Structure 1
Amino acid sequence: MNRRQMLRAALAPALVVGFGAACGEPPPPASKVNVVDPGTPASATPSPTPSLPAAPLTGLPVSAAAVAERQAVAVPLRVSPSTTPYGLDAADLVYAEFAESDTLHLTAVFQSRDAAKVGPVTEIRPVDIRSVAVLRPFVGYAGGPTGFLTQFEKSGLAGVTPADGKVFASGHTSTAALWKAAPKGGQPPTPALDHATDGAALAARDLVPARELTVSVAGGPPMIWRYDQQKSHWVGKVGTATVTAASVIVLTMEYRTLDVRHPSPRSLPAANVFGEGAVVAVSGPSGAKGRWRKPGLQLVCTIADNGGDMLHPQPGNAWVIYAPTSAKVTVK
Structure 2
Amino acid sequence: MNRRRALGSTLSVALVAAFGAGCAEEQPPGATNVVDPGSPAPRPTPTPSLPTAPLSGKPVAEEVAGRQAVVVPVRVTPGTSPVGLAEADVVYQEFAESESLHLTAVYQSRDAAKVGPVAEIRPVDIRTVGVLHPFVGYAGGPTGFLNQFAAAELKGVTPTQREGAFPSGQASTAALRAAAPKGGAAPTPVLDHATPGAPLASQGVAPAGKLTIAAPGHPTQTWAYDAASASWRGRVGKVTVSVASVVVLTMEYRTLTVRKPSPRSLPGANVYGSGAALVVSGPSSAKAQWSKPGQKLVCNVTDEGGFQVRPQPGPAWVIYAPKTAKVSVT
**TM-score for the superposition, normalised by structure 2:** 0.88
- Once residues 189 and 307 of structure 2 are traced to their aligned partners in structure 1, the CA distance between those partners, rounded to angstroms, is 17
Distance in structure 1 (CA, Å) of the matches to 2:310 and 2:44: 36
The yes-or-no answer on 1:298 pairing with 2:286 is no
Point out the structure with max Rg over C-alpha.
Answer: 2
Q: Report whether the alignment pairs 1:194 with 2:192.
A: yes
**SS of the residue 1:164 aligns to:** coil
Q: Which amino acid aligns with 2:208?
A: A
1:11 alignment partner in structure 2: none
Give the CA RMSD over aligned residues.
1.2
For residue 41 of structure 1, report the CA deviation from its aligned partner: 2.8
Q: Does 1:138 align with 2:108?
A: no
Residue 162 of structure 1 aligns to a residue whose secondary structure is: coil
Q: How does 1:31-110 map to 2 (within 5 A)?
A: 40-62=38-60, 64-110=61-107
Cα distance per residue 1:252-277 (max 9 Å; x no partner) = 00000000000111001000000000
- Give, in angstroms, the shift of residue 220 of structure 1: 1.3
1:112 Cα offset (Å) = 0.3
- Tell whether 2:219 aligns with 1:221: yes
Q: Distance in 2 between matches of 1:193 and 1:234?
A: 17
Partner of 1:121: 118
Please list every run of 5 or more consecutive structure 1 residues that lacks an aligned counterpart in the other structure. Answer: 1-35
For residue 106 of structure 1, give the secondary structure of its aligned residue in structure 2. strand
Partner of 1:317: 315
One-letter amino acid matched to 2:282: G
Give the structure 1 partner of residue 248 of structure 2.
250
Query: Deviation per CA, 1:87-145, whole angstroms, max 9, x where unpaired?
Result: 10100000000000210000000000111110110100000011111011100000000
Q: Secondary structure of the equivalent of 1:151?
A: helix
**Shift, 1:171, TM fit:** 2.8
Q: 2:201 & 2:43 partners in 1: Cα distance?
A: 42
One-letter amino acid of the counterpart of residue 88, structure 2: A
**Secondary structure of the equivalent of 1:225?**
strand
Kindly, what percent of the aligned residue pairs are identical?
64
Give 2:109's aligned residue: 112
Give 1:174 shift. 1.0
Q: Name 1:331's counterpart in structure 2.
A: 329
Please identify runs of 4+ aligned residues in structure 1 that moved more than 6 A: none
- C-alpha distance in 1, partners of 2:65/2:138? 24
Tell me the residue number matched to 2:202: 204
Quote how far apart the aligned CAs of 1:42 are: 2.7
Q: Paired residue for 1:287?
A: 285
Q: Which amino acid aligns with 1:130?
A: R
Task: Show the counterpart of 2:15.
Answer: none
TM, length-normalised to structure 1: 0.87
Q: CA deviation at 1:307?
A: 2.1
Using the TM superposition, give the Cα deviation of residue 43 of structure 1 relative to its aligned residue in structure 2, in angstroms: 1.6
Higher helix share: 2
- Is structure 2 residue 242 aligned with structure 1 residue 231? no
Indicate the residue corresponding to 1:159 in structure 2.
Answer: 156
